[in-house]
Amino acid sequence: KAGVTQTPRYLIKTRGQQVTLSCSPISGHRSVSWYQQTPGQGLQFLFEYFSETQRNKGNFPGRFSGRQFSNSRSEMNVSTLELGDSALYLCASSLDSGAGSGNTIYFGEGSWLTVV
């Protein structure tokens, strides 16, 4: 079955603009989470959505937001882009919001965002 799909794969934006990234989870998966990966900070958790509700949130400013649709697809938005927002944004999906051997977390290939 298809894996986690993220679009776009690459994009370049200008400071002050906003960006929307999209994620389609594995079929049947209802939990979607987002991570930011940078050389300096590594992989940092942004937020998690389950059944269209934000279940958990990392330590990022309010410029970072997300949402989940009824079909479990998710989008994340970054407003008023800063140079430091340049990163690989990874989406991950799992069956539900819990832990355990039946709820493996799978990652997509990521969206590379460059802010100039």
Burial of residue 58 (number of CB atoms within 10 Å: 0-12, 13-18, 19+)? middle
Q: Quick one: tokens of 105?
A: 């977390």
Residue 112: strand pairing partners: 10, 88
Quick one: which of 14, 28, 62, 99 contacts other proteins (CB under 8 A)?
99
Nearest residue (CB) to other proteins, 14 versus 102: 102
Quick one: which of 17, 54, 105, 114 contacts other proteins (CB under 8 A)?
105
Residue 35: strand pairing partners: 45, 90
Using rule CB under 8 A, residue 44 touches other proteins:
yes
Q: Give the per-residue contact string, 11-40, with other proteins (x = CB under 8 A; - = no).
A: --------------------x-x-x-----
